[in-house]
Structure 1
Amino acid sequence: MTIEGSFEAKPGQFYMLRGIGSFMTLSRPISVFDVEADKIAFMYRVVGEGTKYFSKLKEGDEITLYGPYGNGYPVSDYKDKKVALIGGGMGIAPLFYLAKQLDNAEIHLGLNSRDLTAEQKQYLGQLYATHAPTTIHIDTDMSEKLDFSKYDAVMTCGPEIMMYKLTKKHENVYVSLEKYMGCAVGACLSCTCDVAGKRVKVCKDGPVFKGSEVSYDDAIKLL
């Protein structure tokens, strides 16, 4: 979804979106896919009533959005260093804009064969490759396939179990957590989690954290 206007964002930040005059009581948090001089873009998958509403918007319709929120990835620390950008499922969304800001990145997209057609997978591969060498991994555990020793850092977004495994492969892993959010300013406490031994708010303190500091209790239970 592309929205016309003048916007700003750091890679990894998100906006809260809501349809004008719609049924939505709460806005939906969606990662920034791309930002250009006169527009901002969001990539999403239809999974509920909110994203279903977005999918029915037409050119010329209006939408309400607030942001940007969150801290984003540490781009300035790794601008010219070798970085692996690893996304799983809809976690691939923030990596496109992130790749634009890095000089020496490699993109790895983990996709499920049931979710996309062959044409869609080809399109995504070509799209992301406009900013960095891109490899698509289908139904694959990327933590077991990549040579992490050649990277200075790993920046990732996707299922927690995937990000947990990646933190075991490299000392500089930065993860973007996905949590239910109601306000995006730390007031509703619906997105709290344990990081570095204390309770934090993903919307305000994150969503990007040093991977080694995050508690992955729910993900570990799935192993």
Structure 2
Amino acid sequence: MYKIAFNKKIGIDFYIMRIEGNFEGSPGQFYMLRSEDSFMTLSRPISIYDIGDNYIEFMYKTVGKGTQYFSKMQRGDSITLYGPYGNGFPVDEYIDKKVALVGGGMGIAPLMYLAKKLNNPDIYLGMRKEAMSPEQMREIGESYSRYGATYFNIGNDMTEKIDLSKYDAVMTCGPEILMKKVKNLNKNTYVSLEKHMGCAVGACLSCTCDVNGKRVRVCKEGPVFRGSEVDFKDED
């Protein structure tokens, strides 16, 4: 078990939790988090927001009882982590190339660590107007801008404002309708899928999706896939 260093509210229902310890992981991978003192039977999958010397950070949104419980945890509380799991973004392949990162809503979370590992990407973040105050958005934008030019889009379809065709690759996470639009604007797109997960090791089959005409497990074969391989037919 590890100790929480801080658990900061950064929006109406967004939080960043820092946990003390030595951790590893690649951008796009995730950990399973659980508090032994809670009602939770299953751990909750949360993508890596940042890793530094003696800490790991997770950005999460309160969407159910598990994350609601996390939001009430405080400095010094104990928490259990398992991971990292899954396959991340191909950072080494694009370290010196022109890359755009596109995140919508909670999908902005894995892009922080990804931006940190890439060489000066362009970062596009989309958020609902009511999700954060202007001051909170400015603070988050400043955090990302340490690693690349950062653009915040509030409330509108940001894919209509970005020329994604000029990039060698685009890496995206967010609502599936956003990722579908992004992959149609650049053939070399990588998407990070968000699915409900029970075990994180591919045993429970609760997180399957259609990739290249086959049902695959997001926790094992993903969560990052080539956008051209993912069937987003249910999103119009």
Shift of 1:119: 1.1
1:151 aligns with 2:167: yes
The count of residues paired between Structure 1 and Structure 2 equals 220
Specify the alignment match of 2:142 in structure 1: 126
Write the letter of the residue equivalent to 2:37: G
Which residue of 2 is the match for residue 107 of structure 1?
123
User: Which 10-residue stretch deviates more, 153-162 or 44-53?
Assistant: 44-53
Q: Which residue of 1 aligns with 2:34?
A: 18
Quick one: distance in 1 between partners of 2:180 and 2:43?
Answer: 28
Q: Secondary structure at the match of 1:193?
A: strand
How far off its partner does 1:115 sit?
A: 1.3
Which one is further off, 53-62 or 84-93? Answer: 53-62
Looking at structure 2, the residues matched to 104 and 34 of structure 1 have their Cα atoms a distance apart, in angstroms, of 16
CA distance, structure 2, for counterparts of residue 60 and residue 21 of structure 1:
13
Whole-angstrom distance in 1 between the partners of 2:182 and 2:165: 12
The match for 2:10 is none
Q: What whole-Å deviation, never above 9, does each CA across 1:59-86 have from its counterpart, x for those lacking one?
A: 1110011000010001011001010000
How far apart in 2 are the matches of 1:48 and 1:179? Answer: 14
In 2, Cα distance between equivalents of 1:167 and 1:142: 14
Which ranges of 4 or more aligned residues in structure 1 deviate by more than 3 Å?
none
What residue number does 2:83 align with? Answer: 67
- The aligned residue for residue 82 of structure 1 is 98
Contact 1:81 1:104 in 2 (8 A): no
2:7 corresponds to which residue? Answer: none
Following superposition, the deviation at residue 147 of structure 1 comes to 1.1
What is the TM-score normalised by the length of structure 1? 0.97
Match of 1:56 in 2: 72
User: Residue 16 of structure 1 aligns to which amino acid in structure 2?
Assistant: M
Q: Whose strand proportion is higher, 1 or 2?
A: 2
1:33 is matched with: 49
* Greater mean deviation of Cα atoms: 199-208 or 124-133: 124-133
Q: Return the letter of the residue paired with 2:234.
A: D
Work out the CA distance in 2 between the residues paired with 1:142 and 1:168.
14
Paired residues of 2:120 and 2:149 also in contact (CA < 8 A): no
Percentage identity across paired residues of the two chains: 64
- Counterpart contact for 1:110–1:138, Cα < 8 Å: yes
**C-alpha distance in structure 1 between counterparts of 2:62 and 2:94, whole Å:** 33
Q: Distance in 2 between matches of 1:142 and 1:155?
A: 15
Would you say the 8 A contact 2:172–2:191 is kept in 1? Answer: yes
Choose 161-170 or 145-154, whichever is displaced more: 145-154
Please report the TM-score for the alignment, with normalisation by the length of structure 2. Answer: 0.92
Aligned mates of 1:47, 1:148 — CA distance in 2: 31
Kindly indicate whether residue 7 of structure 2 is the aligned counterpart of residue 5 of structure 1: no
Which amino acid in 2 is paired with 1:217?
K
